[in-house]
Structure 1
Amino acid sequence: MNGQKSLSSRAWAELLLLSVIWGGSFLSIRVALNELGVFTSVAHRVGWAALVLWVVVVARRLPLPRSPRVWLAFLVMGLLNNVIPFTLMAWGQLHIETGLTSILNATTAIFGVILAAIAFSDEQLTPRKAVGVGLGFLGVATAIGLGNLTRLDPRSLAQLAVVGGTFSYACASVWARKTLSGMPPQMAAAGMLTASALVMLPLAWHLEGPFTMSLNLATWVAVGYYAIIATAFAYLLYYRVLAMAGSGNLMLCTLIIPPVAITLGAIVLDEALSARAYAGFAILALGLVILDGRIIRALRRNTI
């Protein structure tokens, strides 16, 4: 996998921190949905996160992009990376467990490999990657249970919605590489979230009514967590880990997030996943390990 580096203890610590933060986001979103509508919860997420990141942009005196083309790129990025996946996944969490949502979320890496191979000449789909992708899709199919999709009930549709969100994330990754390369990451994140907020705030107001600040304390804690910590701070930490560890090592997050989310869901929400979901994650994790490639390379070195 391109972008792999050896991990320092500090890089490991920050990668684990990022994984735990993102793993906790699934629980916080589900808690907020007890009181907020799907669109309103997403509007809170992108709105507050955008405000925090603009404080960072101003504090660092980063230059504001003036080209309309850049702001159009922010809008598309916001739709692909925030508006569509956040909404699909939040709706999905109304009908499936937080742990299962986190397992299906790992499909982002599988779609990312396929779309990168299509979009970029330096990201070819090698036989090893093809095996990893195949196992990834087998894992998702196992977790969902293909027979369940014939019913198209809310639970099956929710699982498809989450997978649709992961495809949108993968599209966003390709779009960012094509249009936002070289942009300061803090500015890119602030611009993307601002565009997302400009879409979600009026949409949520129209579909779910005016916003209210009279929310339960648990809801505000949940919103604060997933907006400020799991979105604004996590974006800043993500780019920091990316610089230290490389893009290949960030795939490790995909393997760490589900156990965190599953554990929190079991402890706080008393969730219990089916054996099929665990089996699906095991197969998906194997696919991700093969995509990562380092274990295979280590085995080859030991046999030489």
Structure 2
Amino acid sequence: MDNSPGAANWAKLLFLGVIWGASFMAVSLALRGFPPMTIAALRITIGALCLLGVLHAMGIALPTLRSREGRLIWACALGMGFFSNALPFSLLSWGQTHVASGFAGVCMAVVPLFVLPLAHLLVPGETMTLRKTISFFVGFSGVVVLIGLDAFRTAGSDFESLARLACLGASLCYALGSIITRLCPQVNMLALSAAALLCGSGMMVPAALWAEGVPTVPEALPLAAVIYLGLLPTALAQVLLVQVARSAGPAFLSTVNYQVPVWSVIFGALLLGETLPPQLFVAMTLILGGLVLSRSRRPRPI
């Protein structure tokens, strides 16, 4: 049996890194016209509507509530909607109002490190091998080199310490969401993704309206940023991650978090005129080395 992810999955993983890396820039632009919780509510709702449209076009039904297994699937979708969408989107949107985007980026690289012990404890058959541990820390060291110590310097905000905890909390949420996804009973994963976004929207829309009220129509740039966040990093990303998780496994999928800070820096340099850090190529070497090491396998004796 061939355990290689294949060229198609590598291409999808790269594309996921690109669109998720650009989401930090999009959140910064969206914050110019929307409050944080409203951004989270809008992107999840746009993503849910898109995936529901895809399900309708493909003739795929949402999971049923009539059976015990169906109710368990919806319970998992509720957990995914909360831990993979509603809570981390809100934490990151609020956190980026008080901390540098570099710190938010490095927090995303912590997700695989959270997944590793959680999967070891909660997912049957998942063991924390020495090779996995080394590969994750090699990739994470590349992210630290890329971001540098500037990401951890204070910006003088009264809420900065709490915002840093919020960004770290978001990475923990993503890790918990991935564990819930892996423990969910067998079901059409596209339907599960749509159900998760639907649950997330059902939680975020009332919360955003209660906390921040009805948003006013902003200028074109923040509105375009929110639409981007809903269509690509939320809706399309859900479709792609489902495909990768099903064909190559969630461990391979989790390594996308090492790419996100790299693309965040690249987009900042190309589109916002930020200076490209000189350590970028060293960091990319470490990150790609961690990715390769995480997928390498020793040949078994015949």
Using structure 1 for the length normalisation, give the TM-score: 0.81
CA deviations over 1:149-187 (Å, ceiling 9, x no partner)? 9x9953343232211111111111111122x23111111
Q: State percent identity of aligned pairs.
A: 30
Partner residue in 1 for 2:294: 292
Q: Please give the alpha-carbon distance, in whole angstroms, between the structure 1 residues aligned to 2:258 and 2:60.
A: 34
Contact 1:97–1:271, Cα closer than 8 Å, also in 2: no
1:302 is matched with: none
User: What are the residue-to-residue correspondences of 1:146-161 with 2, within 5 Å?
Assistant: 153-161=158-166
TM-score (norm 2): 0.81
1:117 aligns with 2:116: no
Q: What secondary structure does 2:73 align onto?
A: helix
**Unpaired segments of 5 or more residues in structure 2?**
none
Equivalent-residue separation in structure 1 for 2:78 and 2:5 (angstroms): 35
Distance (whole Å) between structure 2 residues aligned to residue 146 and residue 257 of structure 1:
15
Contact 1:98–1:265, Cα closer than 8 Å, also in 2: no
- TM-fit CA distance, 1:146: 11
2:180 to 156, 167, 175: 175
Which of residues 211, 214, 232 in structure 2 aligns to 1:210? Answer: 214
- Pair 1:46-2:44 in alignment: yes
Runs of at least 5 residues in structure 1 that lack an aligned partner in the other structure: 299-304
Aligned twin of 1:5: 4
* Preserved contact between residue 33 and residue 223 of structure 2 (Cα < 8 Å): no
SS of equivalent residue, structure 1 residue 250: helix
State how far apart, in whole Å, the 1-side matches of 2:285 and 2:120 are.
Answer: 22
- How much does 1:259 deviate? 1.5
**Of 138-147 and 266-275, the range deviating more from structure 2:** 138-147
Q: Provide the rounded CA distance (Å) in 1 between the counterparts of 2:255 and 2:134.
A: 18
When residues 130 and 241 of structure 1 are mapped into structure 2, their CA distance, relative to the original with a 3 A threshold, is closer
1:117 touches 1:125 (CA, 8 Å); kept in 2?
Answer: yes
Task: Give the deviation of 1:219 after TM superposition.
Answer: 1.4
**Superposed CA offset, 1:15-38 (max 9, x none):** 322221111111111110111111
Q: Deviations over 1:111-162 (max 9, x none)?
A: 111100011231112233344556677778885689969x995334323221
3-state DSSP of counterpart to 2:259: helix
Secondary structure at 2:99 match in 1: coil
| Equivalent-residue separation in structure 2 for 1:186 and 1:6 (angstroms) | 20
1:22 match: 20
The alignment status of 1:59 with 2:57, answered yes or no, reads yes
Call closer, same or farther: CA 1:297–1:289 in 2, change over 3 Å.
farther
Aligned residues: 292
In the aligned structure 2, how far is the partner of 1:147 from the partner of 1:230? 26
Change (3 A) 1:137 1:232: closer
Pairs within 5 Å for 1:243-282: 243-271=246-274
Q: 1:175–1:284: structure 2 CA closer, same or farther, 3 Å change rule? A: farther
Distance 1:147 1:42, change over 3 A: closer
Q: Which of 88, 94, 102 is the equivalent residue of 2:97?
A: 94
Q: 1:157 to 1:148 in 2, by over 3 A?
A: farther
Cα displacement (A) at 1:58: 1.4
Residue identity matched to 2:294: D
Return the offset for 1:88. Answer: 1.0
What do the CA deviations read for 1:60-105 (whole angstroms, capped 9, x no partner)? 2223322444333222221111111111111121123334322221
Task: Compute the displacement of 1:191 (Å).
Answer: 0.8
